[in-house]
Amino acid sequence: MPTIVSVDDSTVPGEGSSRLLLLVSSDNKHIVVEEDIMSRSRFISKQVEGFEATSQRHAILLPFSSFVLNKVIEYCSHYRGYYLLEDDPDAAPPGRSPVREWDQEFLDVDRNMLLRIIKAAHYLEIKSLVGSCARAIADMIRGKTTEEMREILGVENDFTPEEEHSPSSKCTG
Amino acid sequence: MAHLQLTSLPVELIIKIFEYLDIRTLLGAQQTCHTLKAIVDDCISLQYAIELAASGMSDGMDPRFATVQRLESLKAYDKAWKELSWTDLSDREFGSTDGLHHVSGSVLATVVDNDARTLSLERVPSLLRGIQHDQWELKFDSAIIDFYMDSAQDLLIIITAANWPFNLEIKLLSLSSGLPHPSSAPGEIKLHGARPDIHTGEICGDYFGLGMQATSVSNQRRALVIWNWKTGMKESQSDLPRAYPTRIEFPSFTFLDDSHIMILAYRADGPFNSVEEIQLQTYRFRTPNGEFSPLRDFILPELQERTQIMILRFCPNHAPRRSSGLQRMGLYYHDPKDRLFVICLMVTGGGCHESFELRFPAQTILSHLQSGDMSPVLWKAWGPSMSHFTRHTGPFRPQRWAVYGMKTVQWKNIMLEDCVKQILVVFDYHPRRVARSAIHSGDQVLSSGDSPSMVSIGDTIDGRLLKEQVKTSVTYLYKEIPIPNTCPGEIVQVELCDDGLILYMRVLGQSWMRETRVISL
């Protein structure tokens, strides 16, 4: 059972800068981050709306490690104040995220990390980051053989040899 | 940290990732394990993407219809193309056979004969693609000499003889309204100098090419000009031929893609003017100096000595060349990237003549242009494995068979119960449709007469006027369609369009033609 940590409103500094949020990762690390950095996350925004309604602020517990959380915060800090179409809840969702160079470099990590980031981004409802991760994972397997894909994605082959050679499994392209 | 597997992600994330994959990779990924296979099989959007790719179509992004409706409609459309059954046998009076007549996308256009100042247009409806029937007329001040259109860009290029016989005027109009095209350069393109006797044109994306030839004794100029119709700027111009004694069989050029053209030429020599070599020359246009920059020549099969050429030309392919046009008609549309080129060759020698056709997809040529090597490409290096060389059997009037996208149709006579019957023959060279057909013929009984048959062993052509036997091995789909008994008469012309085949027949004893629709999908 996680502990609820209260955050006193008086801890929020003034000077027009944004309020602070306390995020708690699954490895029980406490991370303080400015609210408007995290406003890209629909999940966090909804939590904050809840705070306003109840005038109660508390720590937000997240089901992933601080290592992953820090990476997501780095992403959100980079795009702080930027408009990204995919994250606009009022805009019609584009089919695919556009290629962003910074994201490509940012997501140049191993498969494990990439899968953790996309899971976290999905939980936090950051559509732009989900899109960029999905593109990055797709790029890892593009043009690879089925056997290579199993290796890259960590997938076990559970087909029988007959199933593998069935005609419907052949490529159309 | 424990190792994470892709399959540990929520299904919607896996789908999201798969939406970024090309179809080949997606189908490979589907084969990695049962879980991923089930995800792909159950996901409508991925199934639709696979179906689009396999049938050579692109999504039209019409927001009125859900993905599941598009998928169902696309499957029905595919099936209808395989069966090619006659659905609309209504007769329409069609005037004389000589009227100028073009097809683009699903639009048919005919110059009305009596004054040649009216263009009659019709959009062929498609129930499955959600395209409405439409019919309209455009009227002009002066007679139409020729016209070209691209229905995907709503573009109509009209050539009129305002100042006959000296100038040609080229007007850039909207196909739907007849008003100046909103994306075109203001005014019209004027061609000065003597009016050419022969011309031929083609639209490719932003470019319009016009080949011209004057044949008077004093002026035998042959020229090819390419404009960017959006800016009005001339991209390239050249007087042909570039190298004596190569003879350019002109006018016959075609755009290979947005920056290359192909021209047919041959070298003839000796007392009999016998052909030494037939070349398909490639050039880059859009060059800094505004001239065509020669690339590689592709050599066609060799002919016997003392053989002369009667016809050497490209058959026009009327499929629009661009997908990002103003009008993506319908729920989905034919992907313009894959394109078939057809060369007609008619030769004579030793008192006989023979007709051949050479068909190849754009990729056959493009794959040889990427290396930067400039040496000629011999027939054995490009032809046998990547083209289809065949004897032409139908009546040899090039305007009377049709090429559209990756398909071509012609007709031939067969003997059936002691009488001559005409049948249509449709060839489809689309690599993914061919591949899919190969898969399906694996699970089905081969004698399902409705589906096209696949020809994978290739063709071998012996010709008296060919120096040696020509073998080609590209795989294609082949389907014969009999003309129904309710259509007596003689085939005059056949057209392929986005949504079917249209047959023009002359009824015996009548001066007019009738138009018959085969599949109006």
The number of helix segments (H) and strand segments (E) in chain B equals 8, 32
pLDDT band of B91, cuts 50, 70, 90: low
Region B35-57: mean pLDDT is 90
- Checking if the pLDDT of B442 tops 60, the result is no
For helices A127-141 and B11-18, give the axis angle rounded to 10 degrees. Answer: 60
Query: Among A90-94, B39-43, B356-360, B458-462, which is the least confidently predicted range?
Result: A90-94
CB contact (8 A) between residue A173 and residue B432 = yes
Q: CB distance from B435 to chain A under 8 Å?
A: yes
Res. B447: pLDDT tops 60: no
Q: What is the mean pLDDT of chain A?
A: 83
User: Between B518 and B26, where is the model more confident?
Assistant: B26
Count CA atoms within 13 Å of residue A148 on its CB side: 8
Report whether pLDDT(A69) > 60. Answer: yes
CA dist list (Å): B423 to A19, A149, B415: 79, 48, 10
Q: Which residues of B touch A111 (CB under 8 A)?
A: 4
Mean pLDDT of B43-51: 90
Which chain B residue has the Cα nearest residue A123? B10
* Contact across the interface for A159 and B33, Cβ inside 8 Å: yes
Q: Which of residues 210-229 of B touch A (CB under 8 A)?
A: none
Spatial neighbors of B465 by CB under 8 A, at least 6 apart, are: B303, B304, B307, B347, B348, B349, B350, B352, B353, B354
Mean of all residue pLDDT scores within chain B? 81
Inter-CA distances, A165 with A168, A171, B33, B37, B434, Å: 8, 11, 13, 14, 19
- C-alpha–C-alpha distance, residues B145 and A91, integer Å: 49
pLDDT digits (tens, 9 = 90+) for B165-187: 566 778 899 999 999 998 887 76
**Average pLDDT value for residue range B225-242:** 79
B426 has pLDDT over 50: yes
Q: What is the DSSP string of B2-70?
A: PPP-GGGS-HHHHHHHHTTS-HHHHHHHHTS-HHHHHHHHH-HHHHHHHHHHHHTEEE---TTS-HHHH
Residues 6+ apart with CB under 8 A from B200: B210, B211, B251, B252, B253
Q: What is the mean pLDDT of residues B478-487?
A: 77
- Please state the φ and ψ torsions of residue B137, each to the nearest 5 degrees: -130, 145
Those of residues 29-68 in B touching chain A at CB distance below 8 A are 29-36, 50, 53-54
The pLDDT score that the predictor gives to residue A17 is: 58
Question: Which among B4, B31, B443 is the nearest to A146, CB-wise?
Answer: B31
Question: What integer pLDDT is reported at residue A28 of this predicted model?
Answer: 94
Q: In the predicted model, is pLDDT for residue B243 greater than 70?
A: no
> Is there a contact between B439 and A168 if contact means CB atoms under 8 Å apart?
yes
Domain residue ranges in chain A: 9-155
Q: What b-and-e string marks burial along B439-470, b requiring 16 or more CB atoms within 10 Å of the CB? A: beeeeeeeeeeebbebbeeeeebebebbeeeb
Q: Which of the two residues, B272 and B119, has the higher pLDDT score?
A: B119
Q: What average pLDDT score do residues B280-303 get?
A: 91
What whole-number distance in Å separates Cα of residue A68 and Cα of residue A87? 20
Residue B448: pLDDT band with limits 50, 70, 90:
very low
Which backbone phi and psi does B12 adopt, to 5 degrees?
-65, -30
Spatial distance between the Cα atoms of B200 and A173, rounded to a whole number of angstroms: 35
Paired tokens of B314: 């490209």
Could you tell me how far CA A51 lies from the centroid of its own chain? Answer: 22
pLDDT at residue B195, rounded to an integer = 62
Interatomic CA distance for residues B87 and B125, integer angstroms: 12
Cβ pair B512, B97 in contact under 8 A: no
Say whether the peptide bond before residue B245 is cis (omega within 30 degrees of 0).
yes
**In chain B, pLDDT over 90 holds for what percent of residues?**
24
Residue of B nearest to A92 (CA): B63
Distance of alpha carbon B401 from alpha carbon B392, whole angstroms: 11
Longest dimension (CA), chain B: 86
Is pLDDT at A54 greater than 80 in this prediction? yes
Higher pLDDT, A74 or B222: A74
Residue A31 has pLDDT above 90, yes or no: yes
Rounded Cα distance, A172 and B30, in Å: 13
**B270: CB partners within 8 A, 6+ apart:** none
**pLDDT for residue B302:** 93
Q: What share of chain B is helix, strand, coil (3-state, %, to 5)?
A: 20, 40, 40
| CB contacts, 8 Å: B17 with chain A | 118, 134, 137-138
CB proximity B11 to A under 8 Å = no
pLDDT digits (tens, 9 = 90+) for B408-417: 998 877 777 7
pLDDT digits (tens, 9 = 90+) for A99-158: 889 999 999 999 899 999 999 999 999 999 999 999 999 999 998 999 999 988 888 888
- The shortest CB-CB distance from B5 to any of A134, A155, A168 is to A155
Bridge partners (DSSP) listed for residue B506 = B490, B513
Kindly report, residue by residue over B155-165, the tens digit of the pLDDT: 999 888 766 55
Residue B236 is given by DSSP the state: E
Query: What is the mean pLDDT of the segment spanning B87-106?
Result: 67
Beta-bridged to residue B360, according to DSSP, are B341
Q: What interhelical angle do A111-124 and A42-54 show, nearest 10?
A: 40
The partner residue sitting opposite A149, judged by closest CB among B16, B29, B435, is B29
Q: What is the Cα–Cα distance from B112 to B95, expressed in whole angstroms?
A: 8
- CA separation, residue B127 to residues A42, B152, B254, B351, B517 (Å): 42, 19, 33, 52, 14
B281 sits in which H/E element: strand B274-284
Domain positions in chain B: 7-76
CA B521 – CA B393 distance, rounded (Å): 29
Q: What is the pLDDT of residues B304-315, one digit of tens each?
A: 888 888 888 898
Predicted confidence at residue B513, as pLDDT, reads 56
Interface contact B13-A119, CB threshold 8 A:
yes
Question: Residue B471: what pLDDT?
Answer: 93
In CATH, what number does A9-155 get?
3.30.710.10
Question: Cβ of B79 under 8 Å from any chain A Cβ?
Answer: no
pLDDT of the residue at B444: 41
For the cut 70, the answer to whether the pLDDT of residue B206 exceeds it is yes
Which tens digits make up the pLDDT trace of B327-340? 556 778 877 778 99
Residue B244 has pLDDT above 70, yes or no: no
Comparing A3 with B53, which gets the higher pLDDT?
B53
How far away is chain B from the Cα of A130, in angstroms, using its nearest Cα? Answer: 8
In chain A, what residues touch B31 (CB-CB under 8 Å)? 146, 159, 164, 169
Torsion of CA B290, B291, B292, B294, to 10 degrees: -130
The closest CB to that of A142, out of B22, B54, B436, belongs to: B22
Q: What is the pLDDT confidence band of residue A13, given thresholds at 50, 70 and 90?
A: very low
Report pTM. 0.80
Q: What percent of chain B has pLDDT over 70?
A: 80
Length of chain B: 521
Percent over 70 (pLDDT), chain A = 83
Looking only at the bridges linking them, the beta strands covering B155-160 and B168-174 are: antiparallel
Question: Nearest chain B Cα to A141, which residue?
Answer: B25
